[in-house]
Amino acid sequence: MKEFMLFIYTVGDHMAEMSPEKQQKHVQKVGAYIQGLVDEGTMKSAQPLELEGITITGHNGEFQDGPFNESKEVIGGYYHMVAKSIDEVVAIIKKDPRFEDNPWKIEIRPIMQVAGIN
């Protein structure tokens, strides 16, 4: 089995523009989807992230804040998943009901495995 980190990008905060009714529907269907994956063991962890944080750049013991995120695209949450292959993850993620309501972008990155070590 392989592990994957998935970064869920949102463009702007379009969840804020949804009506309470749509927000509720969104919570219920995405919640059920994630819960289902947790129950079957595919989802190890899933959490939302604040849309703002701090970036620190460092070199030779010197630190500075930034660079600041200039794009409107922000990581709004992550999934940590277990699956046989990245193709399997892709198939699962395409069923994420969040795509029904708003445009989202999900980046799937395999956690690096080194032959003979992991």
52 binds other proteins (CB under 8 A): no
Choose the stretch contacting other proteins; rule: CB under 8 A; options: 46-54, 55-63, 84-92, 104-112.
46-54
Nearest approach, Cβ of 46 to other proteins (angstroms)? 5
Cβ neighbours around 37 below 10 Å, total: 21
Token representation of residue 70: 């200039």
Separation between Cα atoms, residue 118 and residue 112, nearest integer Å: 9
Residue 8 burial (C-beta neighbours within 10 Å; 0-12, 13-18, 19+): buried
Residue with Cβ nearer other proteins (22 or 72): 22
Nearest approach, Cβ of 117 to other proteins (angstroms)? 24
Separation between Cα atoms, residue 97 and residue 34, nearest integer Å: 10
Binding residues for other proteins (CB under 8 A): 13, 15-16, 18-21, 23-24, 26-28, 30-32, 34-35, 38, 44-48, 76-77, 98
